[in-house]
Amino acid sequence: MKIVVTGATGFVGKWLVNELLAQKDEVTILVQNKKKVPAEWNGIVRITEASLEQFCRLEQSDFPDGGADILFHLAWSGISGQKRADSRLQIQNLQYTVDCVALAKRLGCHRFVNAGSIMEYEAMSYIPIGKTKPGMGNIYSTAKLAADFMAKTTAVNQDMEYINLIISNIYGAGEYSERFLNSVLRKMLNHEPIPLTHGEQMYDFIYASDAAKAIALAGKKGEKNSAYYIGNREQFPLKHFVLQMKEILESRSELQFGKVPFQGAMLNYNEFDTGKMERLGFRPEIDFETGIKMTKMWMEELMTEFKVQNLGGGVKIITPFFLKDERGYFLKSLEKDVFSEWGLDVEIQEEFESYSRRGVLRGLHFQTKEPQIKLVRVIRGKIHDVVVDLRKGSQNFGKYLDVVLDDKEHKSLWIPAGFAHGFEVLSEEALVSYQCIGKYQKEFDTGICWNDKELAVKWETKNPIVSDRDAALMTFREFTEKYEGL
């Protein structure tokens, strides 16, 4: 069978492509960047490279095999974190889904398979109710819901069969996102305290290899114009899974149930037929305990190389690969492929280095246009590093995060675009490296004064050494009045 897959280089996409290859299908993947295609697919998988915006203009001649039988549409940007609340991004995803239906028709596909999720059902069950307070993550949920309705309507009116996949929670090796199970598992491995909701809401988790089998089966043999739940027949309270994970991992993490307010729907899973896949012959092979152990093994292999800790808002602490012996040490601070897997696309354009003595304070700097992404590391000494969220529409707008970086732990700080950055030197001297994604542009380079009263950053140095330029930078109020945000 000839099959086209979008989103093939994502977590679920990779598992699905490998499953289709195992079933001897002829697979063409539609990707935005050929560099992200796994090397083991070379010569086996056919590739068409195009941006999401170009989907609507592709024709059969753009594909190595010409036509296809089925198109699996998995591509969707902003599936976790604050990007779920980005309305422009989510509306674009919606349009790209409809564009993909039209593309499938041009390719001669008889079936279009859409990757939906249970979150659409949560949105339908919660948002319309009076006096509810839906979180901004529901922008993602409602966009997915609209994509399902519009894609189905478009497909059936073009005489194509339509399948919607109601995906529960897929986990396993290769998952780098900040979704719930992934984040909790990493924190448990580090024995960190974990703030949680009450945990009474019903949940379901399915291992990636099982999910790929179910998706392939529903896509190929499911009843036309139907929806299929991709998960297990039985569900349990979230608390059940979290406690089981802690026991499996022998974690010392403090589980803070009830600390995070729960705002959402309490699904009972009667909303969908959870046994429908069984009637197609599907049975999960990996139970939860086995899946967690397999995921743990994969994560621990990664942690011997790099360790990434999320501080919030996309800001991350990266612990490098580090070896020390009688000769000295060997450190690997950056590996493009690994960083890309974590969702950190590293295209370093510039690198800077600063030398400062004790008490020097630099910042808080940013560019008003085309703000840079920065990877900051201390080569020698110790600094107190501060970043301020200036992203327009961010829930944390005007709030700061801080961390100590030094030459003992060799950690790096990943600072996304849209943050102001500064630091003070806590050691006798400090040598700091800044690797930048995006070009420095002097005409847009500015900042906010280090001692702004509204930001109220708690610096450790009472009377820091500050340049005349930094001392004269604008206040946070002046920034908001002039720019509103980045």
Q: Which residues are catalytic?
A: 365, 434
Give which of 352, 390, 363 is closest to 446, Cα–Cα.
363
Which residues are CB-contacts of 131 (< 8 A; sequence separation ≥ 6)? none
Residue whose token pair is 């519009």: 150
Start-end of H helices in 24-137: 87-106, 119-126
The helix/strand/coil state of 63 is coil
Say how far apart CA 12 and CA 171 lie, in whole Å: 9
Supply 357's token pair: 């003595």
Q: What are the beta bridge partners of residue 237? A: 202
Residue of 259, 246, 136, 232 whose CA lies nearest to 181: 246
Q: Strands, E, within 110-151: which ranges?
A: 111-117
Query: What's the token pair of residue 146?
Result: 């609209």
Q: Are 95 and 150 in contact (CB under 8 A)?
A: no
Return the SS3 of 243.
helix
Q: Which of 100, 101, 139, 133 is nearest to 120 (CA)?
A: 139
- Bridge partners (DSSP) listed for residue 299: none
